[in-house]
Structure 1
Amino acid sequence: MKLLVSPINVEEAKTCKSGGADIIDVKNPKEGSLGANFPWMIRDVKNVAGIVPLSATIGDFNYKPGTASLAALGAAVAGADYIKVGLFDIQTREQALDMLTNIVRSVKEYDKNKKVVASGYSDYKRINSISPFELPSIGEKAGVDVVMMDTGIKDGRSTFEFLTEEELKDFVSSSRDHGLQAALAGTIKFEDIPALKRISPDIIGVRGCVCGGDRNSSIRKDLVEKLRALINRK
């Protein structure tokens, strides 16, 4: 499993890199679960990340394919290797497919090597969004590279509180059946690592647990290293 860690500024990005993160993910928690940060922050973090791949979120979106496509292109131009969109206020397959198809076109026409990440939400029922279990088939048709599951509301409740281990295994399996990578996030804790190893996603995304449990605090190098060691342990 690759470890994706989400800093909010350059100093935190340096901490993520030195702690052993595989992917550095630029976001802005003030604007939501997958809140977008500024283009200059993406550029600055890219300079710090060096050869470590950079991910950038473009927001928790409602049905605005044009706006989302422009935002995705902006993140790609600013230097993101992975461009991640949250389908927060999307209720139908048709809306999701239209959004993702246009985002993929926007990014891939700029640079075919950039990767598009489509994120659904494990708490989809309480935020009234499309089921994340529909994303693998939609994502394959749209041409995305990764499908992800996160929590839409950051109130301390974990993805594991909304979905069972078997359901998460099914999500990962379905993603691979459709030729996509699978990523899991959503208030992941250190004690979730054994279950995550059984589920075996390609990527796990964290912030709060490497901030000492409070995602509004700063990322700590020792906690990134601890998480990296737990993932690596046989």
Structure 2
Amino acid sequence: MSAGHGTAAPATGLLASVADLAEMELARVGGADIIDLKQPAFGALGAWSVEALISAVQLWRGWGPAAPALSATAGDQPMVPVLLRTAAERVAATGVPLVKVGLFASPSMEACIEALAPLADAHRLIGVLFADQQLDFAVVGALGRAGFSGIMLDTADKKSGPLTAHLDPLTLGQFVQEARRHGLMTGLAGSLTLDDIAPLAMVGPDYLGFRGALCAQGRTGTLDPARLAQVRARLPAQAGTATG
């Protein structure tokens, strides 16, 4: 997985969140760099069932070495260390290579990260922070020290507007650079639109994440290949990163 190191900034890839196996196929054909298993009807980071995740991993493995990367969310979990780790372990045990864990603003943040550190030694964890909550960039360093593989910025309340309504490009650029300094892959998401792509790509994240912009009826609707093609056309393909 690329963390963006090197003399030249890598192209910004496309993370497409999908709600079922049919959408997985559409995302693969549509050129997604990461296919993200998320059930939007169940919250900001709604999780697939274990059975569905196992089926998804089987489908993904059948695509062979040219397959896009695969990630899955551990759900909107309370910030209780043992519960958060159990949820992440449940997803990791299915064989999903990238496990996204939501880190909501809480006094228990440090304890939750510490609880996840042993799992991060064996699995590739992505910490997800939320721009519409109290955001502490010190968490970036904590995730790096805990052995996380990556970090994403998202929004918890999808009615609160896109990521760009909460943080300006300068702040987002600082976030990306701080994450890179700690060896973390970076992603930006949160109700992003087509108009957000150009300014956010200039910030230099490894990935931009989309759901609502890919669906004709909003994030809880069905993925629309035409909308996916519009997003894909504005982001150059990112080959050979975050592979499984």
Please name the residue that 1:91 is paired with.
Answer: 106
- 1:134 Cα deviation after fit: 2.7
| Cα distance, 1:221 vs structure 2 | 1.7
1:189 lines up with 2:193 in the alignment: yes
Deviation sequence 1:55-95 (CA, Å, 0-9, x none): 1111223221112112111111112111111112x423xx2
Residues 47 and 225 from structure 1, CA distance in 2 versus in 1: closer, same or farther, beyond 3 angstroms? farther
Note the residue ranges of structure 1 that are not aligned, 5 or more in a row: 126-130
TM-score, normalised on structure 2? 0.85
Q: Is the 8 A contact 1:96 1:138 kept in 2?
A: no
Report the AA paired with residue 171 of structure 2.
E
2:75 partner SS = strand
- Find 2:139's aligned residue among 128, 135, 139: 135
In 1: Cα distance, 2:32 partner to 2:82 partner: 32
Q: CA RMSD in A?
A: 1.7
Equivalent position to 1:9, from 11, 20, 23? 20
Compute the TM-score of the two structures, normalised by the length of structure 1.
Answer: 0.88
Partners in 2 of 1:198 and 1:3 — Cα distance?
14
Give the match's secondary structure for 1:123.
coil
Is 1:97–1:142's contact at 8 Å kept on the other side of the alignment?
A: no
Would the aligned equivalents of 2:132 and 2:160 in 1 still touch at CA under 8 Å? no
Quickly say closer, same or farther: Cα 1:195–1:213, change in 2 above 3 A: farther
List runs of 5+ in structure 2 lacking aligned partners: 1-11, 238-244
Structure 1 contact 120–132 (Cα < 8 Å) conserved:
no
Q: Do the aligned partners of 1:70 and 1:106 also contact (CA within 8 Å) in 2? A: no
Structure 1 residue 102, shift from structure 2 partner: 2.2
Q: Distance in 2 between matches of 1:66 and 1:189?
A: 36
Q: Using the TM superposition, give the Cα deviation of residue 201 of structure 1 relative to its aligned residue in structure 2, in angstroms.
A: 0.4
Which deviations, in whole Å up to 9, do the C-alpha atoms of 1:115-155 show, x marking residues without a partner?
A: 10111101014xxxxx1523211111211111111000111
1:41-190 alignment runs, 5 A limit: 41-49=52-60, 50=63, 51-88=67-104, 90-92=105-107, 95-106=108-119, 108=121, 112=122, 114-125=123-134, 131-155=135-159, 157-190=161-194
* Superposition deviation, residue 156 in structure 1: 5.9
- The residue identity in structure 1 corresponding to 2:15 is L
Which amino acid counterpart does residue 61 of structure 1 have in structure 2?
Answer: Q
Where does residue 211 of structure 1 map in the other structure?
A: 215
Q: Take 2:224 and 2:138, find their aligned partners in 1: how far apart are those partners?
A: 35
Q: 1:40 aligns with which of 51, 58, 61?
A: 51
Higher relative contact order (CA 8 A, sep 6+): 2
1:32/1:132 CA distance change after superposition, 3 Å = farther
Whether contact under 8 Å (1:190, 1:227) holds in the other structure is: yes
Deviations 1:157-198 (A, max 9, x none): 101001111111111011111221111000111111110121
How many residues were matched structurally?
Answer: 221
Of residues 33, 38, 49 in structure 2, which corresponds to 1:27?
38
1:220 matches 2:224? yes
Moved over 6 A (4+): none
* Aligned partners of 2:150 and 2:185 also within 8 Å: yes
Shift of 1:19: 0.4
